Amino acid sequence: MKKKSLHFVLFTVFLSLIIISCQADQPQNPQITYFYNGHIYSMDSSSSIFSTMIVEKGQIRAVGVADIKEQLAGKDYESIDLNGQVVFPGLIEGHGHFMSLGEVVCGLDISGLPSWGAVLDKTVEFASDQPGEGWVLGKGWHPNHWSAQPERVIEGYPDNTQLNELFPDRPVVLQHSSFHALMANKKALELAGVDGNTPDPDGGRIVRDDHGHATGMLEENAMGLVMTPYNAWKNERSEKEKAAILEQYLDSAAHRCLSYGITTFVDAGIGPSELKTYQNYHEKKGLNLRIWAMASGLSMLEGAFDGAVPYESEDNRLYLKASKAFVDGALGSNGAWMINDYQDQPGWKGQNVVDTTTLKAMGQKCIDLGIQYCVHAIGDRGNRVMLDIYEDLFNENNAMNQDLRWRIEHTQIVQPDDIGRFAHLGVIPSMQAIHCTSDAPMVEPKIGEELAREGAYPWRSLIDQNSRIANGTDTPVERVNPFENLYASVTRKSSPEAEAFYPEQCMTREEALRSLTIWNAYACKLEDKTGSLEPGKWADFMVVDTDLMKCMNKDILDAQVLETWVGGERVWERQ
């Protein structure tokens, strides 16, 4: 027995030496990765294309057109053959709502459905899987997608008659895709204390029929009447339940974004509780993409963010260095603040949802804190008023040349005389190209042919007058798919079969890709860290199956991401 044991020990030692010898030929936990044989679009100022790239400790160390491996002599590193695949900088979602995206992915998504009946059918199906008397919340319906209108239409909306019949005892809220209007059934209105005698709140409207009865449609600030009891119901859950649900939302939103090559997400408006949710999640699981968030302007003005803004995590994954506010509503609900009447609603010019005195006070707070100010403005009057407020604040604070990079979110309808003011004031037009193609059928009926031609989604005019456009999807208002957004940017069409909406305002392919990468980084004051593949920047990039710079326009829509890397780590891979 002793002889056999000795032989076994000697064999084990011999085998271990062989394994160690083999492992010695491989780098142990290398912090350096050498990528070669690729087609790497850097998106730098020279539009350089490289074939090799060295990544070290999460940053790009070198890029080249030839073998740059000699720079790694004597170092442990991993080699990855890209096999001729196309690489672009990680995409930046320039304006979206991260937790709402997660809520839609996990909840009742009613976007893109072909009729009001289909919306109701899906709501019934979803509710049957969620038994009980709790609230039902759906997001994303829009009449532009419907092949036929409902039987009863009031001011362009359905009323809640059918919803009441289907849900007589359970509160239901269905949010319009703009998130500036919603439909509530009778039960939800009762719980909110809303009836025909309820006055319109400031900056909001309760849509009523000819007899003065509430139809269920609530616009802008009136939505809070119903969302307040809904949120109170949500808050009845235990802290553990709420934390688990929010974690699921963040997991789902991150996975969806990474599958599209999105490595940085601009979250357009969060409150103190959302900031805490992000921080807790990052401490527990770690964010596998970067979040650049805007603090709610009203919350900030009320002191809710005191001491919390500006904020930047040590690992550059979470930022809170801007504030978000609203001057008006959405075009689809006739809430965008216009200079002239809506052509489909004479006597109505839209809504100023936050008064200009408060908006100016928010801007002063941003100057005092040294953060960016980002205001939602869609109508031509909304945009003009915000440019005026910005200009007044810059002059009053001697800040005209301080590179503040304040933003106007959406910038959808702009008077031609105001287009040049963006670059003159250093104000960034933060736009969503896909809104143009979604809104196209309703734009002329609402604002007229002349303004639609000269001032609706005027990308070309803005770029020609030296503006850099920040581009996003406003997800979940639109799908977070950046390739649909890229296609809209270069064609102003929703599909190859659709008619282009004033195509003279298109971006070039390179401009559109820059608007999703380096221009978005510039709009967040992160252009020295991301947005292009250059030495010293974060190694955030995507490997994609389509050459987005050269392919046919129609092929953009079929592009697929193969891998997504953040900070030099592969965080998503197509299976």
Q: 348 is written with which tokens?
A: 């109505």
**Can you tell me whether residue 32 is helix, strand or coil?**
strand
Q: 25 is written with which tokens?
A: 């030929």
Closest CA to 254 of 275, 281, 227, 224: 281
The DSSP element (H or E) to which 338 belongs, if any, is none
Average pLDDT over residues 511-539: 99
Write out 392-461 in H/E/C secondary structure: HHHHHCCCCCCCCCCEEEECCECCHHHHHHHHHHCCEEEECHHHHHHHHHHHHHHHCHHHHHHHECCHHH
Distance CA 105, CA 306 (A): 32
Q: Is the pLDDT reported for residue 211 higher than 80? A: yes
Q: Is the pLDDT reported for residue 154 higher than 90? A: no
Q: What is the pLDDT of residue 146?
A: 87
Q: 42 is written with which tokens?
A: 């850097």
The DSSP element (H or E) to which 562 belongs, if any, is strand 561-566
Q: What is the pLDDT of residue 22?
A: 42
107-116, 220-229, 418-427: which is most confident:
418-427
pTM: 0.88
Q: What is the pLDDT of residue 242?
A: 86
Q: Which fold has domain 99-234?
A: Diaminopimelate Epimerase; Chain A, domain 1 (3.10.310)
Closest CA to 324 of 53, 138, 95: 95
Local structure of residue 492 (DSSP, 8 states): -
Local structure of residue 523 (DSSP, 8 states): H
Find the range with the poorest average confidence among 16-30, 117-131, 194-208. Answer: 16-30
Residue 214 Cα distances to 109, 158, 210, 220, 349, angstroms: 25, 12, 10, 15, 22
Selected residue with higher pLDDT from 297 and 464: 464
% of the chain residues with pLDDT over 90: 81
* Exposure of 283 in the CB half-sphere (CA atoms within 13 A): 6
**Can you tell me whether residue 488 is helix, strand or coil?**
helix
Rounded to a whole number of angstroms, the CA Rg of the chain reads 26
Q: What is the pLDDT of residue 30?
A: 67
**pLDDT, tens digit (0-9, with 9 covering 90-100), for 411-460:** 999 999 999 999 999 999 999 999 999 999 999 999 999 999 999 999 99
Q: Is the pLDDT reported for residue 313 higher than 70? A: yes
Q: Is the pLDDT reported for residue 14 higher than 70? A: no
Distance CA 512, CA 505 (A): 12
Q: Is there a contact between 354 and 245 (Cβ–Cβ < 8 Å)?
A: no
Distance CA 128, CA 115 (A): 20
Residue 82 Cα distances to 222, 397, 483, angstroms: 53, 51, 22
Tally Cβ neighbours within 10 Å of residue 371: 22
% of the chain residues with pLDDT over 70: 95
Average pLDDT over residues 41-52: 98
The per-residue pLDDT of the chain, averaged, comes to 93
Q: What is the pLDDT of residue 20?
A: 41
Q: Which fold has domain 92-96+239-528?
A: TIM Barrel (3.20.20)
Q: Is the pLDDT reported for residue 19 higher than 60? A: no
Selected residue with higher pLDDT from 264 and 401: 264
Question: Which amino acid is it at 362?
Answer: M
- How do the domains of the chain map onto residue ranges? 2-84, 92-96+239-528, 99-234
Average pLDDT over residues 514-538: 99
**What φ, ψ does residue 136 adopt, rounded to 5°?**
-115, 125
Q: Is the pLDDT reported for residue 2 higher than 90? A: no
**pLDDT, tens digit (0-9, with 9 covering 90-100), for 450-482:** 999 999 999 999 999 999 999 999 999 999 999
Q: ∠ at Cα 267 (548, 284), nearest 5°?
A: 105
CA 547 to chain centre: 24
**pLDDT, tens digit (0-9, with 9 covering 90-100), for 77-97:** 999 999 999 999 999 999 999
Tally Cβ neighbours within 10 Å of residue 169: 8
Q: What is the pLDDT of residue 6?
A: 46
Query: Which CATH number among 2.30.40.10, 3.30.70.1380, 1.10.287.90, 2.40.50.220 corresponds to the domain 2-84?
Result: 2.30.40.10
